[in-house]
Chain A
Amino acid sequence: MTMRATTEGFATRLVLITVAMLFLGFFLLLPLVAVFSEALKQGIGGFIEHVDTPDAWAAIRLTLLIAAISVPLNIVFGIAASWAITKFSFPGKSLLITLIDLPFSVSPVVSGLIFVLLFGANGLFGAWLAEHDLKIIFAVPGIVLATVFITFPFVARELIPLMMEQGKDDEEAALSLGASGWQTFWHVTLPNIRWGLLYGVLLCNARAMGEFGAVSVVSGHIRGETNTMPLHVEILYNEYDFVGAFAVASLLACLALVTLVAKSVLEWRFDLHGGAKH
């Protein structure tokens, strides 16, 4: 009797699993399959022909450059913020955590808009920038700024709960044995948090390379110059070059799959998140 009342019968279970799988199949798997299928519509040759263009290569290079700048910035900030927040107690800590999370609740388009209002031709600093011949909006610095803003909470958000849980006993022991502050950080803290850090970096990198809305507002869509991969997908799509758009999109989908696999491996091997919490 207890068995029946605390779990569902076989038929009910089967129905629930089937409905859930159909839902996931339709909403998650099918779009993914569509990306690769459309990209390979003209075969491997067609795929390569569409990816191997100067504009596509420029977009790939720019996307890698943007990630290479903004991810390390977020790593430094994430570690510094988590160190201050988890190793010390001070008033206003929860306010600080809330403010770090703020970019999550702002529309990507608004995240781009704020930098246009600051640094655009008619922005607060627009005249000053023009005078000194500096360009932020419709140039690489603007794309970096928008990307850093969008990915701002990613690393800190992974590290804060992890370092909170680990406490500061290890660090205090190292210091009492005569290690310096930097030595303690490099040899004690960093090894303790490396997998959590890697997890945060993975998510941060995926978002940095894939961001569309914020980057679209500040980039100006100059082909070969300020076009990232997601923006290049949009341009090709709007020009009805569907195979080209899906070919570039499939590269981004591969990035997403690699991210998911690496993330799952980290979750299983190191019991990060227990595969549940986000």
Chain B
Amino acid sequence: MSSTSLTAGRWRRPSVLPGFGLTFGFSLAWLTLIVLIPLATIFLKAAGMGWSQFVDVGFSPRAIAAYRLSFGTAAAAGLVNAVFGLLVAWVLVRYSFPGQRVISALVDLPFALPTAVAGIALTALYAPTGWVGQYLDPLGIKVAFTPIGITIALVFIGLPFVVRSVEPVLADLGKDVEEAAATLGATRSQTFSRVILPAIGPALLTGFAMAFARGVGEYGSVIFISGNMPGKTEIAPLLIVTQLEQYAYEGATAIATVMMLASFSILLLINLIQAQGRKRMGA
């Protein structure tokens, strides 16, 4: 019906359902007001600063140290999550054991638990006198108020991203492919590294990228455990807040712009890698 009445020059295909004008118009207006205009403000403000001022405040030694810390710890946490997230997804999809459903539900805890709550809980655990910290302290391992503590907070925040993106792909991956590999004489570890890993690779990369992007911007769960020493344990989002508290709006804007551009570029790069991968796989 709609294919015959598809007339050239019409912006959308006609439909018998009503409400396109109302719902599309409202959605676009609300999106523009709440998301697009506010986000554009930051780039407008940054563009109005002039290049030299932007570089001065956006790439000050303190800011560069903060970027390195934020991106470094987010990458480290993303890697930890890629390994253990894959393991958790594997165990949840492939094996059955008592309490599985409860554990599966628990994986989403970081999505549901407010970040400030996670932050103070992790600090209570890993402070030198904390539940875990008191055993690590005599060994000379300092976790709280060091980059290790920041990484642990970001592992907590990022875990569900990896598990939830790998799980469905692992469940869909047919047993027949693995059986074929085994019939052809592959050992279990060969099957894993040559058959299973390439198949779940894109999902694993997506999970890593989402955990990484979330980690770079994360604030609430990190600031309690990080110690917040400028140049040492001061993450980029905290530096933005510090600048704002000193009414240094230019500094806050420049740092936020650098962070957003870096995050968007990394996500774009990962999307490109995945598109390339799909092309090579012929799908």
Contacts and interface: CB of A to CB of B under 8 A. Distances in A.
A245 B119 CA distance: 11
B263 interface: yes
B193 interface: no
B176 to A, nearest CB: 9
Contacts of A89: 12-13
Q: Is the interface of B mostly helix, strand, loop or mixed?
A: helix
Nearest to A234: B116
A107 B217 contact: yes
A252 B30 contact: no
A77 B27 CA distance: 6
A19 interface: yes
Nearest to B160: A278
Interface residues of A, number: 102
Interface string B242-281: 0010010100110010011001100100000000000000
B73 interface: no
Contact of A35 (B27, B41, B117, B264): B117
A2 interface: yes
Nearest to B263: A105
A159 B19 CA distance: 17
Given A168-B15, A211-B114, A230-B220, 8 more contacts: A17-B91, A90-B24, A99-B31, A115-B38, A118-B41, A120-B249, A171-B17, A210-B114
Interface in A107-130: 107-110, 113-118, 120, 122, 124
Interface size, B (range): 35 or more
A230 B42 CA distance: 26
B30 to A, nearest CB: 5
Nearest to B131: A34
A102 B104 CA distance: 28
Interface string B150-185: 001001100111001101100100010011011100
A237 B95 CA distance: 42
